[in-house]
Amino acid sequence: MGEPNGLRDRAAIAGIGHTEFSKGLGRSEYDMAVEAIWAACADAGISPRDIDGVVRYDIETTDEEQLLSVLGNPEIGYFASTSWGGGASASVVVHAAAAIAAGLAETVLVFRSRARGKNSVFGKGSSLGGRYWERMDERLPELNQWHVPHGLVSAFQEMAMITRRYMIDYGTTEDDFAEVAVTFRAHAGRNPHAVMREPMTIEDHHGSRMIAEPLRLFDCNIETDGACAMIITSSERARDLRQTPAIIHAGAMAAGSHHRWTSSMYSRSRDDDSAARTGRRLFERAGLTPDEIDAFFCYDFFTSFVIIALEDYGFCRRGEGGSFVKDGGLSFEGGNLPTNTNGGQLSEAFIHGQNNNLEAVRQIRGTSTAQVADAELVLVAGANTDPTGAFILRR
Amino acid sequence: MTSLRNEVLTRGRPLPLPTLDTAPFYEAARRGELRFQRCTACGTWRHYPRPACPECMSRDYEWALASGRGEVYTWTIVHPPTLPVFEADVPYNVVDVLLEEGVHFQSQVLDCPPEAIRAGLPVEAVFVPVDEEITLVKFRVTPDQSKPHSE
């Protein structure tokens, strides 16, 4: 007997929308969010006033009140938020599907808006655009009191330490990281919305400057402005709407280490942490195995965590991610597992995973600029150094 | 926008603000002691401070004196960008030390070139006062006991 899957095939992604992606749009997160939401509604063929549920990231700056004040005060009968940026990226969809399966809402909005190009800062608050870590208090009462005073100030520096230990434990190399960056850049080159489209070589990657060893500039996600939104409704209703529905076949979540809790993270084995737990539960609920998945969307905040995600979700064994990604292993054209066919957060845009979610829907619809032939099953995973979630879409 | 950005950047050195949960750590550091919570029911050490033991659920604990010895578990060498206050130090190391007691602790190894940092490097705690309240716990490479002293 497998895990219960009470949301199996009950809900579907019926509409997707996004703004332009750019290194600096000079617009507020609120304004960009509304443009993306309107676009998603138009794509689905519904009015924004049909929205009766909202699931957002807990760090999202546009809250329910701000939504109501542009939606004309419709009934929002379900609202929820889930933890963190990367960790929330797939979990928001799991929450929305659960709300629909439980009958708590009929038309649920999921969205994320980020003004994070480095010149987009417009306030002191850590969630109000720009680089959060450049604007912290000089007295730290929270968890960051343990590492920021020693010069470990930002996520990419924390990720560098986790990456270094993974290289020691499993033999992953900088050449493996380069393969990921080059493949996703090639995908971005086909995508007119991608911010970084110039072709990249392995040598370009190795020649990019060090940011936090062992991570180089081209191992890191780009910092961008933009917003993404999706409309999730019952599968039954989705079939009557404008687009081919992307059916949410299964979803799973698991609490676990967060990259800011590094001392706790190192005391858990990878296979005992959130991403691996999510993967096991997801496949059991879906009644599927990794080799049945046609395309993978992982949270590519850093190249190293793409390789770790392939191993976390069972597409290959621990330590085998490097050989799995070699020679275009993640390419949409004949790769072992086409991954992040939009160019991902390394090359398209960094909207805390929502841009990857939208591309997963395009793969199911058959409308990607790097379309995987006959894509029927797509797995989308949130960040694998956070409490996280994942879901499987099917046609 | 650029001028606004300059106005909100953190310029000073960020320091811990001790809380009800963490103050005993900093009080000990001020005395030159490295202390962590240890469960008095099962003896398990823990860091970060927390109100119960994850091994046995006991809420009873003491702030026990640690040896200060451990080894580098993982590390990074930080290059720009980083906070302005740390820019003069780049490239600098930040390490995770696995202490003899089994807890992980983030800090820096002082007086050690980036290329000398490695996993397994033996280190020991040193105490660096910053102001009246805060003393930061840093590390140095453990002197090799097998070498004869040179006078």
pLDDT digit string (tens) for chain A, length 395 residues: 467 789 999 999 999 999 999 998 888 899 999 999 999 999 999 999 999 999 999 999 999 999 999 998 788 999 999 988 999 999 999 999 999 999 999 999 999 999 987 667 655 555 566 787 888 888 999 899 999 999 999 999 999 999 999 999 999 999 999 999 999 999 999 999 999 999 999 999 999 999 999 999 999 999 999 999 999 999 999 999 999 999 999 999 999 988 887 777 888 889 999 999 999 999 999 999 999 999 999 999 999 999 999 999 999 999 999 999 999 999 999 999 999 999 999 999 999 999 999 999 999 999 999 999 999 999 999 999 999 999 999 99
- Residue A225 · residue A369 · CB < 8 Å: no
Which of A119, A124, A213 is closest, CB to CB, to B76?
A213
- Chain B residues whose CB is inside 8 A of the A145 CB are 15-17, 22
Please work out, in degrees rounded to the nearest 5, the angle formed at the alpha carbon of residue A66 by the alpha carbons of A64 and A69.
Answer: 110
Q: How far apart, in Å, are the Cα atoms of A230 and each of A1, A35, A83, B39, B52?
A: 33, 12, 18, 48, 41
Q: Tell me the residues of chain A between 341 and 380 that have a Cβ less than 8 Å away from chain B.
A: none
Look at residue A256 and give its three-state secondary structure: coil
Judge whether residue B145 has pLDDT over 70: no
Which residues, 6 or more positions from A26, have their beta carbon under 8 angstroms from its beta carbon? A120, A225, B1
What integer pLDDT is reported at residue A213 of this predicted model? Answer: 98
DSSP B149: P
**What is the set of domains in chain A, with CATH numbers?**
11-117+147-394 (3.40.47.10)
Question: Using the beta-carbon criterion (under 8 Å), do B5 and A138 form an inter-chain contact?
Answer: no
**Residue A282 and residue A249: Cα distance in Å, rounded?**
10
A97 burial level (CB within 10 Å; 0-12, 13-18, 19+): buried
Q: What is the predicted ipTM?
A: 0.94
Question: Using the beta-carbon criterion (under 8 Å), do B10 and A122 form an inter-chain contact?
Answer: no
Chain B touched by A119 (CB under 8 Å): yes
Which of B4, B80, B136 is closest, CB to CB, to A121?
B4
Judge whether residue B3 has pLDDT over 70: no
B59 burial level (CB within 10 Å; 0-12, 13-18, 19+): exposed
Which of A149, A214, A263 is closest, CB to CB, to B103?
A263
Return the CA Rg of chain B.
18
- Residue A384 · residue A254 · CB < 8 Å: no
- pLDDT per position as a tens digit, B70-85: 999 999 999 999 999 9
Query: How close B131 comes to chain A (CA, Å)?
Result: 13
Look at residue A226 and give its three-state secondary structure: strand
Band (pLDDT 50/70/90 cuts) for residue B151 is: very low
- Residue spans of the domains in chain B: they are 16-141
Question: Using the beta-carbon criterion (under 8 Å), do B1 and A262 form an inter-chain contact?
Answer: no
Chain B touched by A147 (CB under 8 Å): yes
Question: Using the beta-carbon criterion (under 8 Å), do B76 and A122 form an inter-chain contact?
Answer: no
What integer pLDDT is reported at residue A123 of this predicted model? Answer: 58
Tokens 């960056």 label which residue? A181
Q: How far apart, in Å, are the Cα atoms of A353 and each of A91, A221, A300, B29, B74?
A: 11, 11, 8, 41, 28
Lookup: tokens for A162: 């986790």
Chains A, B: CB contacts within 8 A come to 144
What integer pLDDT is reported at residue B144 of this predicted model? Answer: 82
